[in-house]
Structure 1
């Protein structure tokens, strides 16, 4: 993505501008000013790339603008590579022991390179300036901090009759929750790991609401953690679930003491849904306060990252893959064909199965697309959805993209 290119170029450009090397290869003053000016322009462009990358899927003009930015960034990257190669050759040459005076040819090449670099960087500066002016035509939103990203809030409630597939995984998780091992040391932590929209929260909800699980645990707590991991907010949510009332204290120590007393010698199940933090210190104090429950108590977390599961000390990992094609169709058809007469269903099922394949096994995608088609009555409308690019549909963008974009923007820019 464009952000990756711009980030890489900015990093290299900064190194060129501020490199502390011998005077013979230091940039002349006017070129240094051009490079600094270019760095400022790139930072301005980088500030709107998050919105631009979202909008390019629906707006052809934005896509063309991003392609122009990437092409110019490539040219800038090539220019910096040429400069770095020259610097390396000069340093190697300068370190050689030589009894004679340095060759005038080398100094001539140095002057030529300075001139070429100056000409090229000015040309690139003009191109980037033109791109920066064009960006104002699109009224892009400035990038927001990751902590401000909108994240869905989950609860333990669901309609079991609307859930299809994942029976094998659900039964395996429930068996693990109900398993008692008097020899096991510490608090068992079970992690459900998978990409956004794959069904982690749904599995946790199914386990939480299972009748055997309800009978097995004396206390059950559900907390939507999300990002950032706010220890005090999470502790308050746990305590409120245990006592049935909002905590009157705000200090973490007092909250953890009350949690400790509330679960002491009790069998409990704590669900921590949508955990993102990779800072073990955020979880450590809370984890220690939970170790006083009756043996058999469990913590179940859902996360998109296996590294999070490891950091939280998981004793059991359940990696989730995509739904089978039949499972995806069952879920999709249950939503999309709800309430339709059997005669209407027959004409839509063939198209619907092709649309369900586009979900690529994502539970959330099947739900969103099913909900979209539920209110489209004619075969022509269904065919139109099948023929379109899914990300061009406003309903799909609103229902599916926010969840998947959280995973996307959590990636390093070089991987996007």
Structure 2
């Protein structure tokens, strides 16, 4: 079941959006307001995903809602990736010469055309997320805040201290290793 990763994806997109909104990139693309709206909507949806995932086995409509959400999140992730690629292209062009800039302006990756295309794409994603939010409200899902920001990392024990009474069944192996190392056939 791929649904448990939805909260992770949504949180990662919110984090990615946070860096985009403050970045000059959002100002250049003139979609800052749309990105801010997306960020707020994603944060609200992210808070109820865990409850939806738990209840989806009893409610088919929740399962469909989660599938719709997954589709929108993947489309949004692809859009953010395109923004990053365009930003990298822009950096490369800045380092190029005037001839390269002119040929780039008249090429298929024209910055104005890209801006227009992405503006429409972000608005479409926003509309789809608004529809998903309206359906979410009908389910009366409980918000489950994520303390500490992210549930991505699980801390583990990092020390090698072993409580000896808990070690069982290794005496014979230990004795064999000691005998091998300390025996008369040991090579010096």
Give, in angstroms, the shift of residue 55 of structure 1. Answer: 0.9
CA distance in 1, matches of 2:138, 2:99: 60
117 and 146 in structure 1: CA distance in 2 versus 1, 3 angstrom threshold? closer
Structure 2 equivalent of residue 80 of structure 1: 80
Unmatched runs of 5 consecutive residues or more in structure 2: 149-153, 168-188
CA distance in 1, matches of 2:111, 2:163: 61
Q: Deviations over 1:357-393 (max 9, x none)?
A: xxxxxxxxxxxxxxxxxxxxxxxxxxxxxxxxxxxxx
123 and 95 in structure 1: CA distance in 2 versus 1, 3 angstrom threshold? same
114 and 57 in structure 1: CA distance in 2 versus 1, 3 angstrom threshold? same
Q: Are 1:48 and 1:141, in contact at CA under 8 Å, matched by a contact in 2?
A: yes
Structure 2 equivalent of residue 106 of structure 1: 105
TM-score normalised over the length of structure 2: 0.72
Specify the structure having the higher radius of gyration (Cα): 1
Pairing of 1:264-283 with structure 2 (within 5 A): none
Structure 2 equivalent of residue 12 of structure 1: 16
CA distance in 2, matches of 1:75, 1:114: 17
TM-score normalised over the length of structure 1: 0.34
CA distance in 1, matches of 2:76, 2:88: 18
Structure with the largest fraction of strand: 1
Structure 2 equivalent of residue 314 of structure 1: 161
Unmatched runs of 5 consecutive residues or more in structure 1: 148-276, 279-306, 320-416
CA distance in 1, matches of 2:19, 2:147: 26
Output the aligned Cα RMSD.
2.8
Q: Deviations over 1:53-89 (max 9, x none)?
A: 1111222111111111011100111111112111111
Give, in angstroms, the shift of residue 12 of structure 1. Answer: 2.3
Q: Are 2:93 and 2:101, in contact at CA under 8 Å, matched by a contact in 1?
A: no
Give, in angstroms, the shift of residue 7 of structure 1. Answer: 1.5
Give, in angstroms, the shift of residue 104 of structure 1. Answer: 6.1
Structure 2 equivalent of residue 93 of structure 1: 93
CA distance in 1, matches of 2:117, 2:77: 15
Q: Secondary structure at the match of 2:144?
A: coil
Q: Are 2:21 and 2:36, in contact at CA under 8 Å, matched by a contact in 1?
A: yes
Greater relative CO, 1 or 2 (CA 8 Å, sep 6+): 2
Q: Secondary structure at the match of 2:74?
A: helix
Structure with the largest fraction of helix: 2
Count of residue correspondences: 155
Structure 2 equivalent of residue 27 of structure 1: 29
Give, in angstroms, the shift of residue 115 of structure 1. Answer: 0.2
CA distance in 2, matches of 1:36, 1:132: 16
Pairing of 1:155-234 with structure 2 (within 5 A): none
Give, in angstroms, the shift of residue 42 of structure 1. Answer: 0.6
Q: Are 1:6 and 1:70, in contact at CA under 8 Å, matched by a contact in 2?
A: no
CA distance in 1, matches of 2:120, 2:145: 36
103 and 138 in structure 1: CA distance in 2 versus 1, 3 angstrom threshold? same
68 and 101 in structure 1: CA distance in 2 versus 1, 3 angstrom threshold? closer
Q: Deviations over 1:2-24 (max 9, x none)?
A: 10221222222223222245x9x
